[in-house]
Amino acid sequence: MQANFEATLEYAQSQDQVDFLYPFRERFLFPQHNGKDVYYFCGNSLGLQPKSVSYLMNQELEDWAKYGVEGHFQARNPWFSYHHNFSESLAKIVGANKEEVVAMNTLTVNLHLLMLSFYRPEKGRYKILMEAGAFPSDQYAMETQVRMYGYDPEDAIIEMKPREGAHIIEEEDILAAIQEAGDSLAVVMFGGVNYYTGQFFDLKRITDAAHRVGAYAGFDLAHAVGNVPLQLHDWNVDFACWCSYKYLNSGPGGVAGAFVHEHHGNNPKTFRLAGWWGNEEKGRFKMEKGFTPQKGAASWQMSNAPVFNMVAHRASLDIYDKAGIPALREKSLRMTAYMEYLLKDISHLPFTIITPAESNRRGCQLSMLFAERGREVFDKLTEAGVIADWREPNVIRIAPVPLYNTYEDCYRFYEVLKEME
């Protein structure tokens, strides 16, 4: 793939000219630096705002003004069934049936709710396997889940670490650890793509290994959703959750998502904490005693849809529907390889790329680990109008996002680094 890359502006611009996704950039608002769009490489942390959001937001405000409570049924996008507007798009993005996905709550809340269904420790089977150094929210969530049932996290949580001196986790080690935990393992709860290194795990292999020992497999897809191709249904993943404000561009604190495999979601015996919005729709307003879960992941909903919070999500998924995951992945593979090619040409700054080099083991993020001067380089990038992401103690993460980044952006980033003393 790298054979014909060139580290020149002309080459980068020529790639943009033949990129059929290039016009999608026009659909987003870019922060400004000295009167120009910034070079934005932070879509892994907070995606940009689609231009259509303010118009669509205004439409809901108008409908609220015009209809009041009648808006539940009269609004142009009736609020009663507003969450249905996401099923089809989300199903395509995560590789699921429509009934297996739902947009609701926020990520960590969904993680807890799904653990309440899938982490049901019993005598002997009570352990959770996760990444060491997982995103802090996930660590806190797992610790408090095991404590809730009276276990000691030191004993009940198995943490997978990279080997001595390595940065990424060997998949063989994960599979071996699952095997070794055997009957004691209740749930494997892993990130889909590690937030720090950008490593994309083989979710199918991990799921198969978990099932072989009788455990469930669930994934936090915060850095995977909208970034890498997923087939949650076919891989037999039991549950998953994600946020929508990173690659999915749905705004800070935007509504999150959840996946529950139909084996569980369509089984009324699967335990779930209930609220009225998870009840069968036809019985919802009867106000009767007794919870009857509707089919699928939607039965995990508790409350009525936070419509204003969901508007940006809908705007963003419209764009995903048009671009499509296969085309996005194709561009992402190529553009990330180009960025990597450029970075390898920089020899005067003390960094190494710790993200896996194999394209099927990463999304678009590249993590640059600095031996020294990391923070200084980051600050100089910021001064030059580049928005990247700094992670303590010494990593700069950059994500050339296929929806709105360009080959020229990658080249400009390289140019700033190249000219740095």
Q: Contacting ligand PLP (CB under 6 A), which of 15, 49, 87, 108?
A: 108
Six-digit token string for 24: 């999608």
Shortest gap between Cβ of 137 and ligand PLP (angstroms)?
4
Q: CA nearest 148: which of 187, 186, 120, 118?
A: 120
In 104-132, which positions are buried (b, 16+ CB within 10 angstroms) versus exposed (e)?
bbbbbebbbbbbebbbebeeebbbbbbbe
395 binds ligand PLP per the rule CB under 6 A: no
Q: How far is the CB of 256 from ligand PLP (least distance, A)?
A: 6
Whether residue 135 is annotated as binding a ligand: the answer is yes
Q: Tell whether residue 316 is among the known ligand binding residues.
A: no
Choosing from 63, 138, 340, 409, the residue that interacts with ligand PLP (CB under 6 A) is 138
CA 213 to CA 220: how far, in whole Å?
21
* CB closer to ligand PLP out of 138 and 238: 138
Provide the CA 321 distance to its chain's centre, in angstroms.
17
Report the residue number, 40 or 242, with the smaller CB distance to ligand PLP. 242
Q: How many residues bind ligand PLP (CB under 6 A)?
A: 12
Segment contacting ligand PLP by CB under 6 A, of 106-114, 172-180, 316-324, 339-347: 106-114
Q: In this structure, what is the dihedral angle of CA atoms 159, 164, 166, 168, given to the nearest 10 degrees?
A: -20
Of residues 43, 47, 71, 191, which one binds ligand PLP by CB under 6 A?
Answer: 191
The Cα-based distances of 222 to 19, 32, 46, 165, 256 in angstroms read 27, 27, 11, 26, 9
Nearest to 368 by CA among 344, 356, 352: 352
Q: How far is the CB of 44 from ligand PLP (least distance, A)?
A: 8
Residue 107's nearest CA partner among 206, 248, 231, 238 is 248
Residue in 15, 49, 85, 106 binding ligand PLP, rule: CB under 6 A: 106
Q: Which of residues 206-265 bind ligand PLP (CB under 6 A)?
A: 220, 222-223, 243
Is there a binding annotation on residue 276?
Answer: yes
3-state secondary structure of 342: helix
Q: Does 195 bind ligand PLP (CB under 6 A)?
A: yes
Q: How far apart are the first and last CA of the chain?
A: 31
Q: Is residue 107 a known part of a binding site?
A: yes
Beta strands at 257-260 and 101-103: parallel, antiparallel or unpaired:
antiparallel
* Number of other CB atoms surrounding residue 20 within 10 Å: 10
Q: Any contact of residue 107 with ligand PLP (CB under 6 A)? A: yes
From candidates 52, 137, 139, 359, binder to ligand PLP by CB under 6 A: 137
Nearest residue to 91 (alpha-carbon basis) of 320, 332, 272 = 320
For ligand PLP, give the closer residue by CB, 185 or 221: 221
**Chain residues that interact with ligand PLP, rule: CB under 6 A:** 106-108, 135, 137-138, 191, 195, 220, 222-223, 243
| Binding-site sequence positions | 107-108, 135-138, 220, 223, 245, 276, 304
| Binding-site sequence positions for pyridoxal 5'-phosphate | 107-108, 135-138, 220, 223, 245, 276, 304
